[in-house]
Structure 1
Amino acid sequence: MRVSLRLIAEQAGVNPATVSRALRGLHCVDPSTRERIAQLAKKLGYIRDPMLSNALAFARRSDKPVYRETLAFLAFAEPSAFKELPWLTQMYRGGLNRAKELGYAVECHRLPAGTSDQRALSRQLRARGIRGCIVCPVSPQTEWTPISLNFDWEYVTGIQIGHSLIYPTLPAIIRNLPDDLSTMFDHLHRLGYRRIGLAVSQHGEETRRWAVLSALLLFQNFHPKVQISVLFQDEKDFTAPAFRRWLRKRKPDVVVVNGPGVLDWLDEIRIRVPQDLGVCRIDCQTGCRESGLQTNYLNMGRMAANQLISILEHGTPLTSDPTGTNLLLSLSSEWHDGQTLISVG
C-alpha cells in the first residue's frame, strides 16, 4: 500500500501540511518534530513521488508562467477559407472560446484526404505535444460521409462533430434530427400546409441515413390527410429542370429543402415565396431568409471542446476500435423565423 502524507500525519498526531514541511526540511517546523516525522516516514516505507512534488512545487510558485495546452481543430478546408463557411466559422469560434475558458489554446489544421498525408499530420501533432483534436464535418449538408482518419490513435484523442468518420469510432457531437424534424413537421401542420414536398437530392438524403424522408413518412402515418411527394422518387437528377417538372406534377404547397439552391430555382421561375409556395429549410444559416431549422454550430463547437478537455483531464477512455460503440451527445436545433412560410390554414 502506498504510504501517504495523510497516513504519516495520523500516526504522528500532526496535520498533513506539517508532515509536508517537515519532510522538505523547512525550518518553520520544530527540529525535534522534523526528526520524529522523518523517522516515522522511514519506518512506514514512505517514498517521495518526484512528479507529484514537482507539480505541487510549481503550484506554490507565485511567478509561474501560464501554460496553455494546445488542441487541434481539424477541418477539410484551409483556415483562410473559414470566413466563406459560416457554419465552420461558428464551430471554430465556439470551440476556441470554450477552450480558452478552460485554459487551452486551439490551432487550425487542414485535414488532408490522403492516408500518407494524414499520417504525416498525426506525426506532426505528436511532435508538437498536441494530444487532442476536434474533427469537423465535411459540410453541414452531409451528415454521414465515408471518410477514414488514419492517425496514430495511441498518442492522440479525438472527438468529432457530425458523422463524417467511418474510422475510427470516436465520440461525437451531433444534431438531434429525430426531434428536430418532428418539431418542424408539426410546425408546418399548424400553419396549415397539407401537401408537403421533399426537394432534396437522393445523395444528400442518403448521407443523412434517410432521416428527413423517414420522419416525413412517420408524420404522414399520424396525419393521413397530409399528402407527401419526394423529388428524387420522381426525377433521377437534382437539377432546376427536374425540379420544375416535379413541381408542376405534384403541386406541393410547401417544400422542405437543404441549402439555398431550391430557393434560387424558384426565384428564376418567378414563383412567389411564400405566397405561392412555402419553403422550409433544414439547415438555416444566421441571417438567411428561409424559415426552418437552424443548427447552433457555435454550441456544437463549445460542446466538442468541453467533452474533449474532460476526456484529456479525467482520463476517460476513448474507443478507437472501428467495431466499438461511440458515445453521442445530440443537440437540438432552434427554429428560425424567416420569410418563406405563412399561415395557410
Structure 2
Amino acid sequence: MKQRVSMRDIAKAADVSVMTVSLALKNSPRCANATRRRILALADEMGFSPDPALRALVSYRHQKNNPSYSGTIAYINNTASPNLVKRGGYHQNLFDGASERGKQLGYKVEEFWINEPGVKRDRISQILQARGIQGLILGPQVSAHSKLILDWQHFCVVQIGFSLESPKFHTIGADVYKAVFRIMLELCRLGYRRIGLALNHHQDERVENRYSGAYLAVQNKMPSTYQRIPILCEDDIDASAFSSWYYMHRPDAIICGQNKCVEFLQAMGISIPKDVGYVAPFKANLDQFAHADGRQEDSGQKAVEILSGMIDRNERGIPESRMIHTVEPLWNSGKTVLRQGAAVPLEYPVE
C-alpha cells in the first residue's frame, strides 16, 4: 500500500518548515510568491492530498476553541455610497450576521467600498491583496443583471443574492421563491380568494423571477372558478397604474414590497386590513405588516461559514459550477391580514 505524502515530507524535500508548507498550500499571502509556487509544484509532483481525518480534527478543534485571528474578510460594497453597513436595513443585517460568525471563526469582517472616486478597479484588487485579504463577500448589487470585474483568481468569493449575473459565484440568500409561496399559502388559509402581486420589474429580475414564479405556482393550484389576477409589474409603479389595476381586478389581498403602495391605498380611501389584506414579501422595518422574515443575519452568518471553508481548501477564483444555499423564511402575520372565511381548497401537493 502506497504511503500517504505528508506536509512534513514536502517540508523536508523543499527544505522549509512545515508551517511554510501549510501557508503555501492555503495560498496565504504570508508565504512569498516564489516559495509558494515551488512548494505547490513539489506537492503536486509528490502526489500530496490532504488527510480528510486530519482536516476534520482541525475543523473540530477550531470550532471548540476560541480561534486566534485568521485574517480579514471583505464585505464588498458596490453601491454609490460608502458606510452602507451602518445605515440599517438589508446590508447592515447581512453585515452584522457575517461579523458575528466571523468573530467565532477568527475572522474580522470589514466593509470595502469599491467605488471611491479616482480608484480604478485593477487597483482595488491590488489593495485587497496588499492587505492580505483572501475572502470576499459580495453584497447585493444595485440592479439586476449586474456585472463585476476584479482579479478573481486571488480570492475566495461568495455572493449574496442573485443580482450579480456575471461572474457567478457560490450564492447565499433568502429563499425568495419559498417566501412568496409561503405567503400565498398563508393567505389562502385565511380565506383570501383574489390575491394580487404588485412589484417593480427590476425586483423580479434581481431574483431571477422567483417572485412571479412562486405566485403563479400557487395561483394555478387554486380552483379554476377563482379569479386569476394578473401581476402588476412595471418599471416603476405609480399611483395611476396601481389604482387602475386595483379597480379593474379588486384584489382582496395584495403582496407588494413597495411602501408607496400603502400610500396609494390610503389616498384611495382603502383601509388595511379591513378592505384589503396587505403583505410585504420581506420584513420592511414595519413589524405591524404581515411579511416573510428573510433572516438576513442568518444569510450573513452562512456566507462566512462557507467562505471560511473555501479559504481552508484554497478554493479561489470563479467556480465551474456554483452552489446555491438558501435560507428558508419565517412567516409573520402582523396586523395587516384578517381571517376571511373558510380556507381556499388547493390542489395537492402545496408544500
**TM-score calculated relative to the size of structure 1:** 0.75
Secondary structure, counterpart of 2:149 in structure 1: coil
In the TM superposition, residue 261 of structure 1 has moved relative to its aligned partner by 1.9
Q: Indicate whether 1:124 and 2:127 are aligned.
A: yes
Q: Indicate whether 1:71 and 2:56 are aligned.
A: no
What is the match of residue 51 of structure 1? 17
Per-residue deviation, residues 74-133 of structure 1 (Å, max 9, x unmatched): 123445343434111110000011111111112211133999733221111011111111
What is the match of residue 153 of structure 1? 152
> What is the Cα-based RMSD across aligned positions, in Å?
3.0
Matched to 1:230, the amino acid is: P
Query: Is the Cα–Cα contact under 8 Å of residues 196 and 226 in structure 1 kept in the other structure?
Result: no
- CA distance change for structure 1 residues 310 and 282 in 2, over 3 Å: closer, same or farther? same
What is the match of residue 213 of structure 1? 212
Q: Distance in 2 between matches of 1:169 and 1:287?
A: 33
Matched-pair identity in %: 26
What is the match of residue 138 of structure 2? 135
Secondary structure, counterpart of 2:75 in structure 1: strand
Matched to 1:264, the amino acid is: E
- Give structure 2 stretches of 5+ with no counterpart: 23-66, 342-351
Secondary structure, counterpart of 2:92 in structure 1: helix
Aligned residues: 291
What is the match of residue 101 of structure 2? 98
Q: Distance in 2 between matches of 1:273 and 1:138?
A: 32
Per-residue deviation, residues 5-64 of structure 1 (Å, max 9, x unmatched): 999xxxxxxxxxxxxxxxxxxxxxxxxxxxxxxxxxxxxxx65853316799xxxxxxxx
- CA distance change for structure 1 residues 155 and 292 in 2, over 3 Å: closer, same or farther? same
- CA distance change for structure 1 residues 198 and 53 in 2, over 3 Å: closer, same or farther? closer
Matched to 1:320, the amino acid is: I
Query: Is the Cα–Cα contact under 8 Å of residues 202 and 232 in structure 1 kept in the other structure?
Result: no
The one of 308, 318, 338 aligned to 1:320: 318
Matched to 1:99, the amino acid is: G
5 Å-filtered alignment, 1:214-233, equals 214-224=213-223, 225-232=225-232
Per-residue deviation, residues 293-334 of structure 1 (Å, max 9, x unmatched): 12111000000011001100123x35616xx32111111111
What is the match of residue 87 of structure 2? 84
Query: Is the Cα–Cα contact under 8 Å of residues 199 and 230 in structure 1 kept in the other structure?
Result: no
In the TM superposition, residue 340 of structure 1 has moved relative to its aligned partner by 0.9
Secondary structure, counterpart of 2:326 in structure 1: strand
Matched to 2:75, the amino acid is: F
Q: Indicate whether 1:343 and 2:345 are aligned.
A: no
- CA distance change for structure 1 residues 102 and 270 in 2, over 3 Å: closer, same or farther? same
- CA distance change for structure 1 residues 53 and 130 in 2, over 3 Å: closer, same or farther? closer
Q: Distance in 1 between matches of 2:95 and 2:123?
A: 23
What is the match of residue 17 of structure 1? none
- CA distance change for structure 1 residues 55 and 290 in 2, over 3 Å: closer, same or farther? same
Q: Distance in 1 between matches of 2:170 and 2:5?
A: 38
**TM-score calculated relative to the size of structure 2:** 0.74
In the TM superposition, residue 194 of structure 1 has moved relative to its aligned partner by 0.3
Q: Select the structure of larger CA radius of gyration.
A: 1
- Give structure 1 stretches of 5+ with no counterpart: 8-45, 57-64
Query: Is the Cα–Cα contact under 8 Å of residues 91 and 300 in structure 1 kept in the other structure?
Result: yes
In the TM superposition, residue 236 of structure 1 has moved relative to its aligned partner by 7.9
What is the match of residue 26 of structure 2? none
Per-residue deviation, residues 123-180 of structure 1 (Å, max 9, x unmatched): 11011111111001025xx6xx222221111211211010122222210102223332
What is the match of residue 291 of structure 1? 290
What is the match of residue 170 of structure 2? 171
Query: Is the Cα–Cα contact under 8 Å of residues 94 and 302 in structure 1 kept in the other structure?
Result: yes
Query: Is the Cα–Cα contact under 8 Å of residues 159 and 172 in structure 1 kept in the other structure?
Result: yes
